[in-house]
Amino acid sequence: MNKPNRVIITYICNICQQKRMTILPKALDVRVDDRGLSEYVDVHVCEDSKIKANILFIDSDHAVRSQVSVTGKEKEKEDVTDTSFLNIPAPTKTEFSEQQIILHRRFKANFVKEIMIRDKLRQLIYRTEDGEGELTQIYCNSPMGFIEINASISTRVQKELALEWISKIATILEEVVHFDERTFTHLLAYLDERINKNIEDKEIAEMDFLLNSPISVPISNQESLDNFGKQAEKLFSNLAIIDYSYYRSILDECIDNENKTLFDIIETRSQKISAAYFLSIFYDLLRNALIRLEKFQFFTISG
């Protein structure tokens, strides 16, 4: 716990008085905006066993400078600007700012024609170009109501299936502590590649890795690499030789890793292999305990 490479961020929730903490791995830097603050979201079981989200503003010294508690459905009316108890800049945006999702060259728009993600926690809208042709309109809300997604999907995908995929994304996004829109570029390509198949736990986990990838650090060690050498064929019996070499090189790249986030690795690899394939390998390695993932997330240290 006391490794010098890490920074511990703690704060006490104003509502439930729980002490919440997180460990910031070395690979993550707190990138502050022009107010000198960086925005994080801590979703936890708060007062009266209700799930609440705290929007936290952290400065470059990793101190939590302010917190604003928000609950799901009423969020938009319950104005985040009620911050009279704060003596520092607080969220003042009342309008949503809209941002275009940058499309990856692997994104073919075979099935996913348009997507608009409305993030009420961070007041942002992400969208792709308008889709054409015969489309099914999908709309969903995350469990706490912070994330709304509208999507236009090809009629070649069953509506129920598409809805299931889009709902899972909304659920994951709602719990992402620190949001990075660059993940959408890969998410769209991933979704387009997978959406016409049933969603399973594996895919949910992979999308979770992806959306959290900028705040996750994958770590392996020499022992894991040796174990992989000895047991690869037993552990992963259906792989082609080229797959083994990808598995090995990903393990190799993560040996004693301190500086690269999972997102950095996905980005570099996406020149050669799709994010979907990369995430599938990553899932396999993690499930077999050959790699571990240090994820930046808040947890309670006192009741």
**Cβ-based nearer residue to Zn ion, 17 or 110:** 17
Contact 97, 125 (CB under 8 A): yes
Of the candidates 13, 149, 251, 285, which one interacts with Zn ion according to CB under 5 A?
Answer: 13
Q: What are phi and psi of 148, to 5 degrees?
A: -120, 135
Of the candidates 6, 7, 15, 273, which one interacts with Zn ion according to CB under 5 A?
Answer: 15
Contact 73, 145 (CB under 8 A): yes
Distance of closest approach, residue 121 Cβ to Zn ion, in angstroms: 15
Distance of closest approach, residue 118 Cβ to Zn ion, in angstroms: 25
Q: What are phi and psi of 47, to 5 degrees?
A: -50, 145
Query: Which pair of tokens denotes residue 182?
Result: 């660059």
**Cβ-based nearer residue to Zn ion, 50 or 73:** 50
Task: Based on the shown chain and the rule CB under 5 A, indicate whether residue 56 belongs to the binding site for Zn ion.
Answer: no
**Cβ-based nearer residue to Zn ion, 12 or 289:** 12
Task: Based on the shown chain and the rule CB under 5 A, indicate whether residue 173 belongs to the binding site for Zn ion.
Answer: no
CA–CA separation, 202 and 280 (whole Å):
8
Of the candidates 41, 46, 172, 173, which one interacts with Zn ion according to CB under 5 A?
Answer: 46
**Cβ-based nearer residue to Zn ion, 27 or 46:** 46
**Cβ-based nearer residue to Zn ion, 40 or 228:** 40
CA–CA separation, 157 and 131 (whole Å):
15
CA–CA separation, 295 and 211 (whole Å):
12
Task: Based on the shown chain and the rule CB under 5 A, indicate whether residue 43 belongs to the binding site for Zn ion.
Answer: no
**Cβ-based nearer residue to Zn ion, 46 or 266:** 46
Nearest CA-CA partner of 3 in 217, 211, 212: 217
Distance of closest approach, residue 276 Cβ to Zn ion, in angstroms: 36
Contact 152, 171 (CB under 8 A): no
Report how far apart the first and last C-alpha atoms of the chain are (Å, whole number). Answer: 20
Contact 52, 67 (CB under 8 A): no
> How many binding residues for Zn ion (CB under 5 A)?
4
**Cβ-based nearer residue to Zn ion, 15 or 32:** 15
**Cβ-based nearer residue to Zn ion, 174 or 193:** 174
* Helix pair angle (262-269, 275-287), 10° resolution: 130
Distance of closest approach, residue 20 Cβ to Zn ion, in angstroms: 8
Task: Based on the shown chain and the rule CB under 5 A, indicate whether residue 41 belongs to the binding site for Zn ion.
Answer: no
Question: Which among 10-18, 96-104, 166-174, 280-288 is the span making contact with Zn ion, rule CB under 5 A?
Answer: 10-18
Task: Based on the shown chain and the rule CB under 5 A, indicate whether residue 51 belongs to the binding site for Zn ion.
Answer: no
Nearest CA-CA partner of 212 in 135, 126, 298, 149: 298
Query: Which pair of tokens denotes residue 142?
Result: 């995350």
Distance of closest approach, residue 54 Cβ to Zn ion, in angstroms: 7
Task: Based on the shown chain and the rule CB under 5 A, indicate whether residue 16 belongs to the binding site for Zn ion.
Answer: yes
Q: Which residues bind Zn ion (CB under 5 A)?
A: 13, 15-16, 46
